[in-house]
Structure 1
Amino acid sequence: MSKALFLDRDGTLIVDKHYLADPDGVELLPGVVEGLRRARALGYRLFLFSNQSGVGRGYYTLEDALRVNDRMEKLIALPTPLFDGVCMATETPDQPMIYRKPSPRFINEMIAHHTLDPKQCIMVGDRETDIEAGLAAGTQVAALANGKLTRDAWARFNFPNLALHDDFTSFAATLR
């Protein structure tokens, strides 16, 4: 069985610019390239899992969101395809939740499809919904503070498999 990282996009891999639709606005967070390079070298498969309610709200199109992803991948500049699977959950908070985090559906589907070991998978994100999705899927979780969330904000998650990191660099250093 394989291991994998399920990665949120905004606030985890790139600067969260709230409803980003313009690829020119993509800025990688520090340590992302080195961290993803390390993860791949250690045999982790990579999956992108992003809530994109701006599509469901009509602020931008799915094609816009995918162009942002393409720009991010170009900036990361690792061999392609970078991700073994991508989920852009376009539901708004008031719509029935199918893929929108905290739903674990995408993670569960990828675990089954790619014969992944949930205990060797990690959901990495910067919001409670990211953590909740990973916990619901039975994976490990890693929260990134990234300067906007404090340790106190994450203290309510009293789970033994919760790890909080200041940034992607400190998270990637823990991978084995």
Structure 2
Amino acid sequence: MQVVNRSHKALFLDRDGTLIFDKDYLSDPDGVELIPGVSEALDYARILGFMLFLHTNQAGVGRGWYSLEDVEACNHRMLELIDLPNFKFEEICIAPEASDDLAVYRKPSPRFIEEMVVKHALDRDQCYMVGDRDSDILAGLNAEVKPVLVKGNAIEEGNEDLLKEYQVLVFEDLLNFVKSLG
């Protein structure tokens, strides 16, 4: 297949519950399990010309439950399972803050997305934040990119109206979302 020229468009992807099955506070690479269809979705997104960024909250680091090296080992295992030639994320943001810490990069902070928009001259109208939690949706809204919910976890109670109010796109999984782009 021919790769479409990049037109400054991007997918910002959550990790747990979007690319791999969400296992609370995952620190062991042996526990990494790819969600079916993820490799195909990422490959197709590349063909469509999207830059791919990984943005993951890892509060277990901030709480001292595991190390940044543990997170990186899990990411490495995920990339092995994705198993696409020459695949890599453009950039990876691991937000180590615990949920009660001051959020610098922890979603719903838009900081990582905003920095990448500037650094890579991205067109916000062609950028999506894709995840399975309300913090992912809010990060997208806060960064003024299109939020996409993949049905992995329930939206936190009280935030159901968020989906309607902001016309959040909802898909069964990443593959179905990416197919809708082509």
Contact 1:30 1:168 in 2 (8 A): no
Q: Residue 124 of structure 2 aligns to a residue in which SS?
A: strand
Q: Is 1:99 matched up with 2:105?
A: yes
TM-superposed deviation, 1:171: 1.1
Q: 1:5 aligns with which of 11, 20, 35?
A: 11
Q: How does 1:86-165 map to 2 (within 5 A)?
A: 86-146=92-152, 148-149=153-154, 155-157=160-162, 158-165=164-171
How many residue pairs align between the two structures? 174
State the TM-score, normalized to the length of structure 2. Answer: 0.90
State the TM-score, normalized to the length of structure 1. Answer: 0.93
Tell me which residue corresponds to 2:67: 61
Q: Residue 100 of structure 1 aligns to a residue in which SS?
A: coil
* Cα deviations by residue, 1:119-147 (Å, 9 ceiling, x for unpaired): 1000000000000000111101110113x
Moved over 2 A (4+): 152-155, 158-161
Q: Supply the distance in 2 between the matched residues of 1:78 and 1:154 (Cα, whole angstroms).
A: 36
Q: Residue 94 of structure 1 aligns to a residue in which SS?
A: coil
Contact 1:140 1:161 in 2 (8 A): no
* Cα deviations by residue, 1:18-39 (Å, 9 ceiling, x for unpaired): 1100101110011101111110
Q: Supply the distance in 1 between the matched residues of 2:166 and 2:143 (Cα, whole angstroms).
A: 15
* Cα deviations by residue, 1:15-67 (Å, 9 ceiling, x for unpaired): 00011001011100111011111100000000000000100101100000000
Tell me which residue corresponds to 1:52: 58
CA RMSD of aligned residues (A): 1.6
* Runs of 5+ consecutive residues of structure 2 not aligned to the other structure: 1-6
Tell me which residue corresponds to 1:168: 174
TM-superposed deviation, 1:154: 6.5
**Greater strand fraction, Structure 1 or Structure 2:** 1
Give % identity: 51
Contact 1:90 1:100 in 2 (8 A): yes
Q: Supply the distance in 1 between the matched residues of 2:82 and 2:24 (Cα, whole angstroms).
A: 20
* Corresponding letter in the other structure for 2:161: R
Q: 1:111 to 1:66 in 2, by over 3 A?
A: same
